[in-house]
Each structure stands twice: as structure tokens, then as C-alpha cells.
Amino acid sequence: MSTEPNNATAGSQQPSTIAPNTRFIPTGEATAIMPVAGGKVSPITVIGTPTIRGELDELCIKQAINSRLAPGVTEVVLNPDAHAGYGAPIGCVLVSPTHIYPGPVGVDIKCSMSLLQLDLPEEFVADKKTRRALIDAILERTPTGAGRGHRHARKGRSVDYTLGKRLVTEGASEGVLAELGIPTAWASRCEDAYHTGHDGSADALRSRLDLLTSGGKSAEIFRGKIGQLGSYGGGNHFGECEIVQVEQKERARTAAEVFGLRDGHVAFLSHCGSRGWGALLAEGQFKSMQKKFADWGIPLPGNDRHMVHAPLGSPEANAYLDDMALGANFATVNHMLINALVLEAFQEVIPGVMGNLVYFISHNIARREIVRNQPAWVHRKGATRAFPGGHHALKGTPFAETGHPILLPGNPQDGSAVMVAEEGAVLSCYSVNHGAGRRMSRTAANKSFDQQQIDKSFDSADILTNCRNYPMDEAPRAYKDFEEVLTSVKKAGLASEVARLRARFVIKDGDKADD
């Protein structure tokens, strides 16, 4: 699923006329390399079957090449969901030991997935009346739409200015979660429960936030953005009621038990990010860095203004890392609160229901990791971390032996998947795709599809939605074949399936995406 608005003019490059498949040298059933600069640098790693590789658009390929040739970049990976974005492709991984790049993180900082497992057998949501009551109860607590926040939700959580400052600097700390009525144990089920500043401290974030909110108008803007906590936003963000179907292989059953998945039971899958706050920080960083590049006459990689960057240790890099952390902390608490509110909504409609967070994992973030035995910043833009069991970074977590859950949304009609990484994920810098990925721009989808047919397809599948008309640009057929995408991941040896998720209802908004 796209993490940025997809359109034919993303970026400033002119597409090449070379056929995509002639660029790739196969290295396996679902892996290939794409040589760059006549072999003067290491090639781009491409994950995908021949079918997937043949669907990669020319602008996506051009953006991948520009990314690989950008200063300080040592590796680029294209995942099977890759498609053109702003600067770097959506569905890519960019590694740099020396530089930080806002573009290969994305506009919606720490856009993420989370999954809530309920102790509710699937027959409890078979009745349409019950599902409609659940939709209404959730919407009373978690509004959808760009710019909408708790003031639009009758039973949402109000977050004051003081708590807002704490949560963007502390993340999902015990104190923040307790004050919001969120189970504090859920923090252990986060990829990262909190983010610190460029120097590893929360004090750096407090200083940066003070600077950003020093003017009266700036403080009011921050107050408004904090008001969006606990909301989904628009575009490709969603909440989905699922039925869990655990794979019957022994390894899958073992992983499912560790993850807390319950076969044949209801779960709730959420996709959203840092909302208007993260977008504000990202746009501010783009403008600030672009001005520096213009003032200093620094050439842009591929002449693309979204590929601005800064060397680590510079004031510009420090400012970006601080802003990224402020946005990421918001996104983390946003997901935690949404899950708490969703559980509350289920309990209102079906008293006695209990639930636990399975996992929360991001797909628009840069993280400092060890790559090829060297510390580096791994930028995942529309890409998901995939650490297998035994990975050093999972030591002390519930997933040290199995590997952590990977949450991959497909589309409501084809389902979604929970996966777990294999040792082969080292090939992709321990990353996989973040979903199916768009195969069609929003404009093309709106021109190509028939609204009545889309709505009828949801009725035929017995999937309820909160939309009067399901957004045409988010129709299932606007996305790549999810089975082919999953086949690519499995044949490449990156990850294996633990469970499938079958949608029973969907909460979305038809507004333009804020990501």
C-alpha cells in the first residue's frame, strides 16, 4: 500500500525508455540485481518474481538509480511493492553510514501497522447488525479524514498541550500510556516504543520542540496537530476487523503462539502514522534543506529536490533526526491510543471482550542498525523491518527466538498477512515490503473504475464499510496482485507466512491522503 500520494509526476526526473526487464540480472526465482553506473558501484537488489519485475514503472527505476548514486549511499533494495514516489521509490530500502535523507523516510514519518488480537470467536461478528454497531462505536472514538481529531469524536480522548509535549518527546513511556488509559504492557509489543534525539537523549527533543513552538502561532499549530491524536486520517489509512487464520505448519503455529494470535478469532488491523504533525515536520525539513542546497549551490541527486540530504553530525542532520523522532513518537502513541479506543468500542458492543496488542511496526523510518558488520542508517520508505529469530537486536524481547511479527496489508478483499523473517532477509538488509503496493495511480484509478461495481464487490464479499461509496482510488484492483507479492517474498527466502487475515469490515475515509 502506498505511503505517499501516487501520481505520474512524482519527482522531477524524466523516465527512461529502456524496457524494465532488460535492466535486471536474475539471481534466483524472485531475486535480481540491477547494475548501476556501469558497475562502478554495487548493484541495486531487486526482490520480485519476473512478473513483479516486469510491472516496475520506469520512474520507479529511475528514482532507484538516483538513490543508489546519491552521496554516501552504499545499498538500495527494491521490494516487490515498489512504485514511484517523491525522490526515492515507495517500497525501497536505502542504506548510508554517513548521511541522512528525509525523502527515503517519507512525508508521513513512521507511518505504521498495528494488530490487536481479541478473545472473540469469529461467529460473534457474523451478524451484519453487530458489525455495523462496531463500526459506529469505533467512529465515535477514532475519527477519519485529514485534519480531523478528537474534537470530532464524541467518545475520543482529549489531549492537552502539556501531555502533547510529553508524548512527542517521550513516546510510549509508562507515564504517557497510563495517563491516556493505554495498557503499559503494550510498549513491549512495539518495534520501537520511543525515539530519542540525535544525541540519544530526550532532552534534545525537548530543546528542539521548544524551538519549534517558540512563537505564539507555532504553539497553536502544535496544539492543533496534537488534537489529531487517536485518529486515522485519509487516503490509504484504514482500520479493519479481521478473522485470523493461522497457517498449519509447525513453525507458523509456534510463531503464532508467541505473537499471541488466535486462530478463528477476531483481530483488528490499523494503518496510519504521524498525521498532520509528522507531515508538518517533514515539509519543514524539506524546505530548510532545499534552501541550504540552493544557497550553497549543492547539486541534487538526479536533480530531484526531494533527495536533499545532510552528513551525519552536521546541524542539518541533527535537526532532521530530532524532527523525525518527534514525529515518530507521535505516530507510536497514536497507534497505541487507536488500539485502546478500538478495544473500548468492542467492549461497548460486546461486553467482556479482552484484547492484547500483537505488534506495532513502522514502514516510514530511518533506524541506526548494523549492515554488513558496519553501523549505518537504514532508511525504509514503504518498507518493513524483518529481523529473524536470533537477531541481536531482538535480544530481551518476546520475539528473540522466533523473530518479530511482520504485518503486511494486502487489500480488504484479498486479505492481509502476518509473516516472520527468515535468515535470508539479510539479502534485503533485513527488510520486506510494507504491503501490496500500488499498480495504478490515484488519477488513473478514478478514471478507470466504476463506483457501482466497486461497492457491489464489497457487498458480494460480505465486507461492510463506513463509506457511503468506497473510494475508487483505494479500490482493491488499484493495488498489485497480493499473492504474487507474497510469493516474491517467500521465494526470495525473506519471510514465511504465519497467518492470513480475512476482513469483515473496513473503516476508511475518502479524503486526500495526508501521507
Band (pLDDT 50/70/90 cuts) for residue 151 is low
Residue 91 inside a domain? The answer is no
Q: Give pairs for 312-315: CB < 8 Å, separation 24+.
A: 312/98, 312/99, 312/100, 312/377
Amino acid at 458: F
DSSP 10-28: -SSPPPP-S-GGGG-EEEE
Domain count, the chain: 1
Distances (CA, A) of 318 to 308, 323, 377: 14, 9, 13
Q: What's the pLDDT at 20?
A: 52
182 lies in a domain? yes
Percent residues over pLDDT 90 in the chain = 88
Helix, strand, coil abundance in the chain, percent, nearest 5: 40, 25, 35
Query: Is 268 within a domain?
Result: yes
Is position 22 within any domain? Answer: no
Q: Count how many residues are written for the chain.
A: 515
Residue pLDDT, tens place only, 348-400:
999 999 999 999 999 999 999 999 999 999 999 999 999 999 999 999 999 99
pLDDT of 277 strictly over 60:
yes
Residue 5 grid coordinates: 500520494
Give the pLDDT of residue 28.
97
Residue 486's pLDDT is what? Answer: 97
Task: Examine residue 412 and state whether it is found in any structural domain, yes or no.
Answer: yes
User: How many CB atoms sit inside 10 A of residue 213's CB?
Assistant: 18
With respect to residue 25, please indicate whether it lies within any of the assigned structural domains: no
- pLDDT of 5 higher than 60: no
Residue 434 sits in a domain whose CATH number is 3.90.1860.10
**Torsion of Cα atoms, 251 then 253 then 258 then 260, to 10°:** 150
**Cβ 187 vs Cβ 259: under 8 Å:** no
Q: Which domain holds residue 333?
A: 112-507
What does the alpha-carbon distance between residue 315 and residue 335 come to, in Å, rounded to a whole number? 31
Confirm whether 439 is domain-assigned: yes
- Residue 132: exposure state from Cβ atoms within 10 A (0-12, 13-18, ≥19): middle
pLDDT range class, residue 413, cuts 50, 70, 90: very high
Let me know if residue 314 belongs to a domain. yes
